[in-house]
Chains A and B, each alone.
Chain A
Amino acid sequence: MGMEGIGARVARKEDKRFITGAGRYTDDMVVPGMKHAAFVRSPHAHAAIRKINIKAAMAMPGVIAVLNGKELKADGIGNIICGWMIHSKDGSPMNMGAWSPLATDTVRYVGDAVAIVVADTRAQARDAAEAVEVSYKVKKAVIDPVSALDPKAPQIHPEAANNLIYDWELGDAAAVDAAFKKAAHITKMDVVNNRLVPNAMEPRAALGHYDKAEDHYTCWTTSQNPHVARLVMSAFYNVAPENKLRVIAPDVGGGFGSKIYIYPEELTCLWASKKTGVPVKWVAERTESFLTDAHGRDHVSTVELAFDAKNNMTALKVDTIANLGAYMSLFSSSVPTYLYATLLSGQYKIPAIHANVRTVYTNTTPVDAYRGAGRPEACFLVERVVETAARELGVSPADLRRQNFIKEFPYQTPVIMAYDAGDFDASLDAAMAAAKYETFERRRSTAAKKGKLRGIGMSCYIEACGIAPSAAVGSLGAGVGLWESAEVRVNAVGSVEILTGSHSHGQGHETTFAQLVADRFGVPMDSVSIVHGDTDKVQMGMGTYGSRSGAVGMSAIVKALDKVEEKAKKIAAHLLEADEGDIVIENGELKVAGTDKAVPWFQMALAAYTAHNLPSGMEPGLKEGAFYDPTNFTFPAGCYICEVEVDPETGSTEIVQFVAADDFGNIINPMIVEGQVHGGVAQGIGQALLEGAHYDESGQLLTASYMDYTMPRADNLPSFNVSTTTTACPSNPLGIKGCGEAGAIGSPPAVINAITDAINNNNLSMPATSGKVWAAIRSA
């Protein structure tokens, strides 16, 4: 490891521009002649559109156009799609209702877009949007996912009877039933996973520019995956063929999943640009973000865990209803199925598992992947039921876990996943030691003397990152492959450009990817640039989500670096009149091993481009590309321990200690990894203690601003104690597992296990607000 190579705690290259306000975001983009858009949105959760009267709006100053869904349809623009086909257990395909980018006859949630207004200024567009008169016939709405399945509930889409999208199962129901019949102990719980609003710092935005002369579209947008956006907009929404559509995702201020999807707004801005002849920019207001960014979680489940007389887990049974909101967002169908039920084995040897998942439409904001996506929901079920079982069985939660840990790898779970590597004892030991778990009871007594209730809880999570391989996900219904691409361009002066299909929106790729090159070629990081986020520069890519950019994105870079290295060595061997097999790359030089004969990296690069003296038959230049398709998911795992003090008078919870011991495989930049854990744990604590979207019965979002939606803040959080244990991932060349989501996945059950331990009442839902905790103390 050098100062800048793999394993070095290099400060992030991108932070200078971010913290000095010099980042370039979509709203910073200005195109000559650009105008501004505002969307007319439904104030009702469920209503028929009777009439749209644009007369008053068109008469307002600066207004260029008011366009509706019928005009959009007439131009052949397609409906928004869900890109992952799930079949119900009876073999029927999921019941996908139509999602028109601008609603034509029915609105299905508060915020549903009805029309776009284009005007000279943003304020004029907003004023005119308010002046568009939409006459609605209000219908009854259904918000709660369980009630939505009631045959008497309002029907949201004609395609989905009883609002059921699919009724899916995974695992062996007969084996589970047999095991439950023989069980010595069964722990059963009802568990709700609360709905969350992503709240990326940068709101969504889009700038659509149709160039009439070139018959070409450019879309600047807040995307985590600009190539997928281009693909979907070309193949499904009929905006333009890919060669006539450029999508650019410049600096993006946070995504957490919410910027994976292709939303109505960017599509409509592109179409409106062609329609009006002017570039059209839209930037969400914060309220629009609350209302229209895809939400996360929202599961209602029952979980049952069976044990034999020796406390060995024998079977797990799960029944889940997942709320997908008013429309099926891009990957919504995969989240409560293949990203959820496949992780229900947790870190444990459970011979039989069965999960049944029903997804439903409700008159709420669409729900899709949000940091963790399915895995937090699975982890919360498993780690709550295991902790509860330990309490019921009267054994230590650590011992019960340890006894049931999977200890041999590879391990085939009963729910598709084949864990390739791990050491769950190691992370449990590390976390318990860091948390001083053994002396907890002393701290509990000390707290009791101050009148505080102290509790401790743990969570041993496992998750799956770098979703792959493409052929496997394709067989499970995915509409895309999940590989990644990279291109390495060595310039004539030896500087290096890495073109990647990954997209950085907070992850620090400009740093970690450059570290990879610095490590390999011994060139300074400053001479390495990372190019991403532009479909005109990078040929194709799948983007960044699911903690895939390390395991998949960097693996593609490694493959391309391998090819560059091979050619570079050939050139150096030729220049040094040595054998290619004797060339080593060290400290920016290509050397003949064991001699002082060397050619500097830049000189080799120059030789490649002057082409005056290359091996016979070699093409000039030094540029290589690669596509990498992983052989398996990766399986980050770890143990989190949370210690809390609850004030019994107010029910308020203070997290006095939070320990994370993670196994992320090999690590490129420990500082960035720690930052990811800090952020993920903060979001997980947010879910456990503070965050939750609330709708009233009519479908109005009550938590549509920071006055009512509680984001975690610094003073809600302790100083985290984070560490790692390492088993290298055998499924990719760098041995990386991924770290982006683990914190948000592993932490919620640890927090709730700690609070329920403190207050001696296991009946506590998230977010565990002070009022709920106070009521739980009183009913304990």
Chain B
Amino acid sequence: MYEVTYHRASSVSEAVKLAKAGEDSKFLAGGMTLIPAMKTRLAAPSDVVDLRHVKEIRGIKVSGKKVTIGAGTTHADVAGNAKLVRVCPAICKLASSIGDPHVRHMGTIGGSIANNDPAADYPAAMLALDATIITNKRAISAARFFKGLFETTLKDGEIIKEVQFTAPAKCGYAKFPNPASRYAMTGVFVAKGKEVRVAVTGAGDDGVFRAKALEKALERKFDASALDGVSVSASNMMSDIHASAEYRANLVVVMAKRAVAAANA
């Protein structure tokens, strides 16, 4: 790790001020990506501004079907929230499948979606749940928020405060983990609300995306069998030492079926 100046913020506005003062500042949420990158010298911010002690961005509120999750809420808190599991069990299951217990007690939902790792789990949930990402400056729909690999519409000095969504009637998540990193090699989140939305992470060569062909098939019948014989093209899938594009295209359908089965269970 290179030398870095650490700041602990106690409010969002203080965090913004501290970040602005640094030459090349980074916000630190759970640190599950940033810290390893700094340790291996792949990231070298001049300053890190720690958001973990900003109370206003932590916590989960469930009011009827309306769900608000503070950006600083850890995966473990999402996974274990009793109110949330009643209205949207799939997001709790998703959170419980991230990393290991250490990661789940440090990593946060805001950190995950701000980083937009193409193999992270939460972006698929945000997209499928048609969530709104609330920052200190504006509200952004998930569809507009995620832009390709590790890119979002967040601007300098913009901090995610919370995410909001309406819990759908049914939802499910199925993930085939990369055997080494345990990130998603393919993760599929399906949600059936007013419409069926199917979002895929880990597989696309340009990050999280909606699988429209699968949505269409599931609109006709929200059942795993509706996807029998449906395939997705391998042409926009990622190919690497762990999995070919063809294999990932297969996993998209298989995981979608399992996610639907989980949603219907």
Contacts and interface: CB of A to CB of B under 8 A. Distances in A.
Contacts of B1: 123
Interface residues of B, number: 18
Interface string A130-174: 100000000000000000000000000000000000000000000
Contacts of A716: 179
Interface string A680-720: 00000000001000100000001101111111000010000
Interface stretch (B10-18, B48-56, B137-145, B242-250): B242-250
Given A127-B2, A694-B241, A709-B180, A287 B254 contact: no
Given A127-B2, A287-B40, A650-B254, A770 B179 contact: yes
A127 B40 CA distance: 12
Interface in A746-760: none
Contact of A771 (B41, B181, B244): B244
Contact of A690 (B40, B176, B179, B247): B179
Contacts of A703: 180, 241
Contact of A708 (B3, B41, B181, B247): B181
Contacts of B246: 775
Contact of A707 (B3, B181, B247, B250): B181
B176 A771 contact: no
Interface residues of A, number: 27
Contact of B180 (A708, A774, A775): A708
Contacts of B179: 690, 710, 716, 769-770
A709 B41 CA distance: 19
B251 A769 contact: no
A775 B41 CA distance: 37
Contacts of A769: 179, 242-243
26 contacts: A123-B3, A126-B41, A127-B2, A285-B40, A287-B40, A649-B250, A650-B250, A650-B251, A650-B254, A651-B247, A690-B180, A702-B241, A703-B180, A706-B180, A708-B180, A708-B181, A708-B242, A710-B180, A711-B180, A769-B242, A769-B243, A770-B176, A770-B243, A771-B243, A774-B250, A775-B246
A266 to B, nearest CB: 24
Which of B2, B246, B250 lies at the interface centre, i.e. has the most chain A CB atoms within 10 A of its CB? Answer: B250
Interface in B226-257: 241-244, 246-247, 250-251, 254
Contacts of B241: 694, 702-703, 708
B180 A771 contact: no
Contacts of B250: 649-650, 774
Nearest to B179: A710
Contacts of B41: 126, 130
A706 B251 CA distance: 23
A690 B177 CA distance: 13
Contacts of A770: 176, 179, 243, 247
Interface in A294-338: none
Nearest to B119: A707
Contacts of B242: 708, 769, 771
B146 to A, nearest CB: 21
9 nearest interchain CB pairs? A710-B180, A771-B247, A707-B181, A710-B179, A771-B243, A649-B254, A694-B241, A708-B180, A702-B241
A705 B241 CA distance: 13
Given A771-B242, A771-B243, A771-B244, A706 B181 contact: yes
A775 B247 contact: yes
Contacts of B243: 769-771
A8 to B, nearest CB: 36
A775 B249 CA distance: 12
A650 B2 contact: no
Contacts of A649: 250, 254
Contacts of B176: 650, 652, 770
A651 B251 CA distance: 10
Contacts of A127: 2
A702 B180 CA distance: 13
B65 to A, nearest CB: 33
A192 to B, nearest CB: 15
Nearest to A709: B180
> Which residue, of A126, A707, A709, has the highest number of chain B Cβ atoms within 10 A?
A707
Contacts of A130: 41
